[in-house]
Amino acid sequence: MTIPPGKGRPAAPRRATLLAVPELPDVTLYVEALERHALGSVLAGVRLKSPFLLRTAVPPLVAAHGRALTGVRRSGKRIVLALGPPPGPRAGEPPELALVLHLMIAGRLHWKERGAALARRDHLAAFDFEQGALLLTEAGTKKRASLHVAGDAAALAAHERGGLEPLGADPAAFRARLSGTRHTLKRALCDPGVFSGIGNAYSDEILHRARLSPLVLARNLDAEESARLQAATEAVLGEWIARLRAEVGPGFPEKVTAFRPEMAVHGRFGEPCPVCGAPVQRIVRASNEFNYCARCQTGGRILRDRALSLLLKDDWPETLEELE
């Protein structure tokens, strides 16, 4: 719900841990780091501390042991580790398989020395390669991260959500995705079946850069607005990939968060918009929020949340001027 300053707004969603689902730029950095650290290396074994992480039983996880990592790629917000053939004949095992990791909200990856202990409460699994160990952690009590073993192309394809890759997309295909959905722009950008890899944080930044309201229906955009949105999408994602690459360097990403001080609006409720100086607004739903600048994106209009509008009635401000 959108709460103007001074209207008894509830506490913001918890940001002490600065956690959110890793999105396209973050996952891209994970993929590149894994290529640097482990590509071509043999996966000696996988140690599971949490049995709830593994979501498939066929093929068994042990089938991955002893295979070389032949490729790493991003599939939406998932990471796919492609493994080559086993070192010798193994009855009933596929010639190649893949491990599919979904970090969800609180899952993170860390590169440690081989054999690193799973000592902490948030440690879920360790993937022991020749050069080191890939540790999977997940903060909090709700364990949502997942690991799947895919033994063939069909099993792997089951994890594809069908979203259009937003970087380098054909303009006609980009606009077709918008016109083919009944979602708002915010929801369309975050829908993995519409666009691949974009989530709450970067959709806020994209819409602010495009100067478009998050609640406009995607199918109502004209050609110029669609082109503006696509240009903003490529610019924002490209800039953040470059920024994170510079930050990580040859190392491994250790500060994966959706709340960064360099962001224009995401997570910056009440702070001045870097473009116009107006206070950043937000809409909160459950434990999530999205942010926007009313002056840059909605012509100065404060977006209403229906439930809170009924509560405040005429006390709801219509414009930024009423907040000043």
DSSP 112-145: E-TT----STTEEEEEEESS-EEEEEE-SS----
Radius of gyration of the chain (CA): 22
Cβ(29)–Cβ(23) below 8 Å: no
In a shared domain, residues 28 and 79: yes
- In DSSP notation, 169-203 reads --HHHHHHHHHT--SBHHHHHH-TTTBSS--HHHH
Region of 283 (left: φ > 0; alpha: ψ -120 to 50; beta: rest) is beta
For 22, the 3-state DSSP assignment is coil
What's the confidence (pLDDT) of residue 13?
Answer: 42
Domain of 38, in residue numbers: 24-157
Residue 226 within any structural domain of the chain: yes
Q: What is the C-alpha to C-alpha distance for residues 42 and 213, in angstroms, rounded to an integer?
A: 48
What's the confidence (pLDDT) of residue 303?
Answer: 87
> No. of H helices and E strands in the chain?
8, 10
Alpha helices in 20-129 (DSSP H): 24-38
In a shared domain, residues 118 and 69: yes
Place of tokens 């295909």: 173
In a shared domain, residues 147 and 89: yes
**pLDDT in single tens digits along all 324 residues of the chain:** 344 444 434 444 444 345 688 999 999 999 999 999 999 999 999 999 988 999 998 999 999 999 999 999 999 999 999 999 998 888 888 999 999 999 999 999 999 999 999 989 999 999 999 999 999 999 988 889 999 999 999 999 999 999 999 999 999 999 999 999 999 999 999 999 999 999 999 999 999 999 999 999 999 999 999 999 999 999 999 999 999 999 999 999 999 998 999 999 999 999 999 999 999 999 887 667 889 999 999 999 988 755 444 444 444 445 544 334
Q: What is the C-alpha to C-alpha distance for residues 200 and 287, in angstroms, rounded to an integer?
A: 12
In a shared domain, residues 96 and 209: no
Domain count, the chain: 2
For 36, the 3-state DSSP assignment is helix
In a shared domain, residues 122 and 245: no
Domain of 79, CATH number, reads 3.20.190.10
What's the confidence (pLDDT) of residue 237?
Answer: 98
Q: At what angle do helices 171-179 and 223-248 cross, to 10 degrees?
A: 110
What's the confidence (pLDDT) of residue 284?
Answer: 80
For 282, the 3-state DSSP assignment is strand
Cβ(37)–Cβ(56) below 8 Å: no
Comparing CA positions, the residue from 82, 36, 105 lying closest to residue 248 is 36
In sequence order, the 6+-apart residues with CB closer than 8 A to the CB of 49 are 118, 123, 124, 125, 126
What's the confidence (pLDDT) of residue 177?
Answer: 98
What's the confidence (pLDDT) of residue 289?
Answer: 83
In our burial notation (b when 16+ CB lie closer than 10 A, e otherwise), range 197-207 reads: bbbbbbbbbbb
In a shared domain, residues 224 and 99: no
Q: Domain ends where: 157, 191, 226? A: 157
Cβ(244)–Cβ(218) below 8 Å: no
Quick: pLDDT tens for 78-115.
999 999 999 888 888 899 999 999 999 999 999 999 99
Report pTM: 0.88
In a shared domain, residues 143 and 187: no
Q: What is the C-alpha to C-alpha distance for residues 111 and 127, in angstroms, rounded to an integer?
A: 10
What's the confidence (pLDDT) of residue 70?
Answer: 98
